[in-house]
Structure 1
């Protein structure tokens, strides 16, 4: 997943992929809105979005993995399982120091980028599995890989809009990598932290009005009222300007529409990965007309960024508790007086 669109986003003869599983929904264990699994004797059945897979128990745990999305690295790093990764795409977008070190050492190979994957190199690595978002334009590439005996699993975690359901993918990785207990424990800790932070946020009597995201060209892409950003803002006991909207995707507005909607906004969050307000104005001078830009508080997501890599889209995908803690610190700083922001950064 890349910075601006964070957001982009079958199998060999041993795995069958079909669109309509003939198993009753009551038999599936739900990981999230889009992912469920079922253990039926010697077979692990996985449903991810519109795809389903059957794995014989002898096929797992996977021991050699290729990742085609930086967000996938967040789950594997959280489990301390970087040693199973043999290839990644677009390594410049991966934040993990441990993975970057392995890339430099050569134990993890660069297998291309979102424009063109190096299929020959992937095949030569002989991975047990490839984890990736499903991108329809790469269907021919996926078929070629599957025809060479490589399993391809599509996980579209970017579509999950409830923060803890996005986190819960760690339980699926634990199941597929033979690290069930560790994954369950990691999830339980994050869930506990998250729920305790939600309760802490409710101690504040103030519920400030919040604006989010930024413009690209002439369009402002605001998170819909049911997106993960909107859920984070709500759980941090703040009021998002589109809280009554029911979209789980971005809502497009002109600057004029945002200007008329953003009266009374105190905080502007997720304002890109800019380093200063001056840089923002160079991108779009209209920002200077917003009261929140001049009198409020503006926060970008460059708190953990190295060149093209941003950990907000890596470990931040898993650590919903850390992300929520950042928002609470921003909206209600008195509740977390000693905490320093992890992913967010105030722009001066």
Structure 2
């Protein structure tokens, strides 16, 4: 399954609060620069990109939710709250076996796809809230849902470039679902694991050079030097070819431009979801010209795939520590001799 690269960026704005005693910014829990929340007197305030929310005591925790993005299923599964889901869109992209079983049992309904949502079915399910990324072309649909008393919550977890900031959204879902303690404990566990792995990586004697991603058509979408991929590679004590770049988005380059940067590359990661190098070469014969393709090691994101679903984009949204562990195993296998890759797979 090829995942589309999202290049959507939103402008951060401040919440307009009702009149109340002034509260210092330290009362807010910061997930990232774009997302903060505050729990006070049983109500929940949320700043998420351009959107602000105030959830009253009688609104949360939510008992019935709909997910319009497969990546958000990772947070729900990590909190063992799958039974709160009443609907999902594009279920074929959801990896969770428990969610898939609930779909088969009819306890979770298919409410459409990112091409068209089944608004009538969504309204009939009477969810307390819908979680989704904001897509401007669906504004009329969102408005219709809101007019039917459904809370639509826009989150930007896919835009976060610091691995642990993406993980931190589990704390927000904990607030939404009445699982604050579980979410806080899970975040601390993942954060501790991530930081310990980062320290372990520093013990490596070598710092290999790394290439990432692949071509779509005639364009190679290289992760910018300030993207999550670049941060993972750096934290795994390896040297990404675009490490000096400061962009948080993908960089578009021609094959020739990338070729010129790959003389000393030893590892190629995130190279799609191919089954073999032969298949990869068949899709794009240019790859054979790369030294890393012929003499280096190539890894795809196909370690946990099931038909069209890929768990890297689901549980991987939460388990930053396991993604980092995969990268360390790839670049410095001697540091994790007994570990088997979770999300990634070497091409033969």
- TM-score of the alignment, normalized to the shorter chain, above 0.5: yes
What pairs with 1:240-319 in structure 2 (closer than 5 Å)? 240-319=240-319
Deviation at 1:7, TM superposition (A): 3.8
User: Match of 1:62, SS?
Assistant: coil
Deviation at 1:38, TM superposition (A): 1.8
Q: Distance in 2 between matches of 1:175 and 1:262?
A: 45
Q: 1:102 matched to which residue of 2?
A: 102
- Runs of 4+ residues deviating >3 angstroms: 6-9, 22-27
Is 1:4 matched with 2:3?
yes
TM-score, with structure 2 as normaliser = 0.95
Deviation at 1:22, TM superposition (A): 4.1
Q: Distance in 2 between matches of 1:87 and 1:4?
A: 22
Q: Deviations over 1:35-93 (max 9, x none)?
A: 10123435311011110001112210000000000000000000000000000000000
Q: 1:37 matched to which residue of 2?
A: 37
Q: 2:205 matched to which residue of 1?
A: 205
CA RMSD of aligned residues (A): 1.4
Are 1:227 and 1:248, in contact at CA under 8 Å, matched by a contact in 2? Answer: yes
Gaps of 5+ in 1: 10-17
Q: Distance in 2 between matches of 1:51 and 1:58?
A: 21
Q: 2:21 matched to which residue of 1?
A: none
Q: 2:347 matched to which residue of 1?
A: 347
Q: 1:239 matched to which residue of 2?
A: 239
Q: 2:116 matched to which residue of 1?
A: 116
User: Match of 1:74, SS?
Assistant: helix
Q: Distance in 2 between matches of 1:22 and 1:119?
A: 30
Are 1:301 and 1:312, in contact at CA under 8 Å, matched by a contact in 2? Answer: yes
Deviation at 1:244, TM superposition (A): 0.2
What pairs with 1:111-190 in structure 2 (closer than 5 Å)? 111-190=111-190
Decide whether aligned partners of structure 1 residues 19 and 33 sit closer, same or farther in structure 2, where only a CA change above 3 A counts.
closer
Deviation at 1:138, TM superposition (A): 0.5
Q: Distance in 1 between matches of 2:212 and 2:122?
A: 39
Gaps of 5+ in 2: 18-23
User: Match of 2:80, SS?
Assistant: coil
Decide whether aligned partners of structure 1 residues 6 and 219 sit closer, same or farther in structure 2, where only a CA change above 3 A counts.
closer
Deviation at 1:6, TM superposition (A): 4.9
Q: Distance in 1 between matches of 2:4 and 2:262?
A: 23
Q: How many residue pairs align between the two structures?
A: 339
Q: 2:79 matched to which residue of 1?
A: 79
User: Match of 1:146, SS?
Assistant: helix
User: Match of 1:200, SS?
Assistant: helix
TM-score, with structure 1 as normaliser = 0.95
Q: Distance in 2 between matches of 1:190 and 1:26?
A: 24
Q: Distance in 1 between matches of 2:25 and 2:262?
A: 43
Decide whether aligned partners of structure 1 residues 74 and 3 sit closer, same or farther in structure 2, where only a CA change above 3 A counts.
farther
Q: Distance in 1 between matches of 2:143 and 2:325?
A: 42
Q: Distance in 1 between matches of 2:168 and 2:13?
A: 23
Are 1:6 and 1:313, in contact at CA under 8 Å, matched by a contact in 2? Answer: no
